[in-house]
Amino acid sequence: MRDVTKDYSPALASILVDENIEVEEDFTAVILYLCSKGYLTMEKAKKIFS
């Protein structure tokens, strides 16, 4: 297995490491990656269910 640089997005790193796309896991990782880079922000949601 080769080292993956920090410049790769989580989705690309996943493909390079195991040559497979895990949709839910990779999507979550990309959302968190974009937040860490400042492209997205997260807010705590108000309770919507009673």
Query: Tens digits of per-residue pLDDT, 3-49?
Result: 555 677 777 777 777 777 777 777 888 888 888 889 999 888 888 77
Distance CA 18, CA 25 (A): 13
Sign of CA dihedral 17, 19, 24, 26: positive
Sign of CA dihedral 14, 17, 22, 24: negative
Give how far the C-alpha of residue 35 lies from the chain's centroid of Cα atoms, to the nearest Å.
Answer: 9
- pTM value is 0.56
pLDDT of residue 41: 92
Q: Is pLDDT of 50 > 70?
A: no
pLDDT of residue 49: 75
